[in-house]
Structure formats: structure tokens, C-alpha cells
Structure 1
Amino acid sequence: MTDLLFRLLLTAASGALDLWVGIPVGFALGLPAVLVWAAAVSGNLGVAMLAFFAGSWLRRWIQGNRWLAKRRRRVEHAMKRYGVPGVALQAPLLTGTPTAIVVALALGAPVRSLLRWMIPSVVLWGAVFTGAAALGVSFLWD
């Protein structure tokens, strides 16, 4: 039981970094696909909530960080072209959820609207990435 809990927490912590990190870690730890998805998405949404609450501090840090300039430009482009739904739907793919949240908030996105779009986006992309990874793992082991 403690081994399972440890693997779930490690997957969630990795998912907090990014879904692209958490999902492979979960599979490498031998977790079933449903648990990989739940843990990675939970970790990613947890850090997304932190980004919402620490938005003003993170906003200043992101605006001054050269390494994040390319990601910031991607979010700005998506925000101008597609609005809040576009930012939310591309976030797990291109920039990472927390970065997209903070930059979108800095660009004036309404918090409720951003939350309303970001949560389903992370859940959906988590399911897609987990399904793709499970399919890849099944090809390796069968």
C-alpha cells in the first residue's frame, strides 16, 4: 500500500512539472493507465491552482525571464488569435499549464473563464497523452 502511494505521489509530482513528464514516469513506475492519468492530471491541476493564487508574483518573474520569452510569445499569440479557449487548449501542448495561466492572466484573461477552460483542457489532454502512452507501452510489451 505504501509502495502504491509513493508511486502515485511521484507521478503527481512529475505531473506538476508537466503532463509530458508525469505520464511517462507513471508508466515507468508500473502504474495502470487510469492511475497514471489521475495522478498526472491531479499534479498538473494542483500546480495550476498555485499559479492562479501566486499569479502576480509569477507574472513579474515570467516577464523578466529570457528563457520563458518564447513560451510567453506563444501564449500571447494564442490569446490574441483565439482568446481564452485557445490558450487553455494549447497550454498542455506548447507552454505548460502554469506558464499559460500566468501569462494569460497578465494579458487580462478573466480568471473564471480561464479556469472554466483550463481544467477540462488538462483533463482531456491528460487522457489523450495517457492513451497514446498506454498504446505505445502495449506495443512494447506484447
Structure 2
Amino acid sequence: MTSFIAYVVVFLLAATPFFEMIAVIPLGVAAGLNVVPVTILALLGNVVTVLLVILLINQIQAWLTRRREAKGKEPSLKRQNRAKRVWKRFGLPGLAVIGPLFIGSHLAALMGMSFGGTKKQMTKWMLGSLTLWCVVTAVASYIGIDLLFTYTDREGFLVDLLEG
């Protein structure tokens, strides 16, 4: 039952904006969970909430505007300007592929929709991008953890380094 809860936590953390699957997969693998279910659950968690952002874009933008006006704040321009530069240079595919790494997948989807991407285009590119990043992160995490800790007969890189 404990491992079931751990996998549920992986799903929920991956679904959380700004935590993202790129952080969850290495944590899950380092915690000793199986890399395949961690990767699948992290992808599903992230995809579910990104699809919600895409589907509910109009309501989210209205809520953000009301919230900003109530607080009397101006929108944060740093991330928005970074996303605009990527959009101008690489278009929707570039924002969808690069966005999850630098500004987060949820914000990339929100900004892609705000800059003129259609729901269909954004969904297609974000699903491809998130799948790509999940696979890359899973492979890197698995190889990295294998190098750092002992999962085979040999001692890992970290053990060798610490024992000098």
C-alpha cells in the first residue's frame, strides 16, 4: 500500500504547475520507485493539467486578469518576454518543446494559447513535447541513478567518489 501511495504522489506532483514531471521523475527514481510506472504516471499527471489549461484558457485568462486587478499588480514580464522571444523565433513548436524546460509546461501552454495558437495545435505539440521530455528525463534519471548508487554488482560513481 505504501508504494501505491508513492505512485499517487508522483502523479499529483507531476500535475502540480511549476513542479512538473521533469523534477518528479528523477525524485521518484531516486526514491527507488520503478522508472516505467513513474514515467507513465508523471506524464499522465502533467498532461491532464496541461489539457485542462488548454481547454479552459478563456476562463483562466479572465480569472488571472481579475486577480491581478484586485491586487493592483502588473503582469510579470520576465517569463512573458522570454516566451515571446521563443514564440517569435521558433513559433508554436519551439514554445511547446522548449517551454516545459524553461518556463514550465502549464505556462508554456497558457502563453502559446495567448499568443495565437489554436487548441488543436497546442494540444498536439504539448503532448509530443511532454512525451519527449518524459522519455529523456526517465532515461537520464535511470542512467544517472545507476551511476550514483549501487544497483548492480559494481559500486556506483557516488560510492567510488566518497570512498576515494
TM-score normalised to structure 2 length? 0.76
| Unaligned ranges ≥5, structure 2 | 151-164
Q: What is the match of residue 135 of structure 2?
A: 127
Q: What is the match of residue 9 of structure 1?
A: 8
In the TM superposition, 1:25-40 aligns within 5 A as 25-40=27-42
Compute the displacement of 1:54 (Å). Answer: 2.4
**In structure 1, how many angstroms separate the alpha carbons of the residues matched to 2:2 and 2:92?**
40
1:120 partner SS: helix
**Cα distance per residue 1:6-30 (max 9 Å; x no partner):** 1111001111231232113312432
Give the letter aligned to residue 37 of structure 1. Answer: T
Give the letter aligned to residue 14 of structure 2. Answer: G
**In structure 1, how many angstroms separate the alpha carbons of the residues matched to 2:74 and 2:45?**
26
In the TM superposition, 1:1-142 aligns within 5 A as 2-17=1-16, 18-60=20-62, 61=64, 64=68, 68-142=76-150
**Cα distance per residue 1:38-60 (max 9 Å; x no partner):** 11111110110111122123335
Q: Identity over aligned residues, as a percent?
A: 26
Compute the displacement of 1:66 (Å). Answer: 6.1
Contact (CA 8 Å) 2:26, 2:141: kept in 1 or not? yes
Compare 21-30 and 94-103 and name the one that shifted more: 21-30
Aligned residues: 141
User: In 2 relative to 1, CA 111–42 (structure 1 residues): closer, same or farther, beyond 3 Å?
Assistant: same
**In structure 1, how many angstroms separate the alpha carbons of the residues matched to 2:107 and 2:79?**
8
- In angstroms, what is the RMSD of aligned CA positions? 2.1
TM-score normalised to structure 1 length? 0.87
